[in-house]
Amino acid sequence: MRRKIFLLTLWAVLLWAGTAFAWSFAVAGDSRDDKDGIFPQILAAVDNSGMEFLLHTGDMIRNASAREWGAFRAATASFRKPLRPVIGNHELYRGGTREGFAEFFGLPGVNYSFDHKDAHFTVVDNAKGSLPDNTLAWLDRDLASHPKGKDGIAHLIVAMHVPPETMLVRPHGTRLDYEEQSRQLLAILSRHGVDAVLCSHEHMHHVEDWNGVLLVVSGGAGAPLAPFQKYGYYRIDVENGAVRETFLPVKPRK
């Protein structure tokens, strides 16, 4: 009888351990110039779901004017969950600055990191289409300071605006040495066991296994789409030692 109780208890503990840290968040990018009411629908859907926050991967506005930032603040004012921002190239147009972006969102800088449950997130500024040595070095240090298996960290996730250059992705507006910088980035991600890289910029949706790293491009939050693409965003589930994505389409308002 005791053995049966022990086995049932053990089974319950193992079941709990496998699901205790099952949680999800949303990732969306390129919401500027939203003429079809896509971004408000994404905000409402995330707000009314079990997803715990929205990671916006950049290009929230077209130009960095007080009017556009005011409109963005008004659009997100009723959003009840955390909004985690990544700087995009359009945030630097017409006099926009990294310092102004960080101040607007109350960030320590445009390169920053945060923890959520059993995951560590590192947000990288590559808004100008470049991953210079000092940025890569900062990323390497941040990941090294938050290794898997320490302080409850089981997952490592990196977010940036411009996707890395891969066999399947050739992002626009990058520097001539971006291919080499992307190779250096992959080496860092692989060394630390990063689970996923989340991006936008290309106004499309794309998922790729980038040498063992999940690459998600979520660029359909309202900006003009690339051909044959649909508006939408991704739900990212973090559970059972894995990070997986689900595309959630959003229809334009008539």
Task: Over range 34-51, report the average pLDDT.
Answer: 98
Is 197 part of any domain? Answer: yes
- Name the token pair of 184: 């250096």
Write down the pLDDT at residue 240.
87
- Name the token pair of 128: 């100008």
DSSP letter for 163, please: P
pLDDT bucket at 186, cuts 50 / 70 / 90:
very high
Q: What is the CATH number of the domain that holds 64?
A: 3.60.21.10
Is 254 part of any domain? Answer: no
CA nearest 196: which of 145, 151, 234, 149?
Answer: 234
The CA-CA-CA angle for residues 62, 63, 66, to 5°, reads: 120
Is 71 part of any domain? Answer: yes
| Helices 178-192 and 133-144, axial angle in degrees (round to 10) | 10
Phi, psi of 181 (to 5 degrees): -60, -35
Q: Can you list the positions of beta strands (E) in 14-150?
A: 23-28, 54-56, 83-85, 112-116, 119-124
Burial class (CB in 10 A: 0-12, 13-18, 19+), 40: middle
If one counts the domains in the chain, the total is: 1
Contacts of 68 (CB under 8 A, 6+ apart): 61, 62
pLDDT bucket at 20, cuts 50 / 70 / 90:
low
Task: Over range 159-187, report the average pLDDT.
Answer: 98
Measure the CA–CA gap between 247 and 232, rounded to whole angstroms.
Answer: 7
Is 14 part of any domain? Answer: no
251 vs 18 pLDDT, higher one: 251
Is 173 part of any domain? Answer: yes
pLDDT bucket at 11, cuts 50 / 70 / 90:
very low
What DSSP letter does each residue of 177-192 carry, written as one string?
THHHHHHHHHHHHHHH
Residue 237 pLDDT > 90: yes
Is 97 part of any domain? Answer: yes
Q: Structural domain of residue 119, as residue ranges?
A: 23-249
Rounded to two decimals, the pTM is: 0.91
Is 17 part of any domain? Answer: no
pLDDT in tens, 95-124: 999 999 999 999 999 999 999 999 999 999
Distances (CA, A) of 138 to 22, 70, 101, 135: 29, 32, 19, 5
Query: Which segment of 19-28, 156-165, 185-194 scores lowest on mean pLDDT?
Result: 19-28
Is 138 part of any domain? Answer: yes
Across the chain, mean pLDDT equals: 93
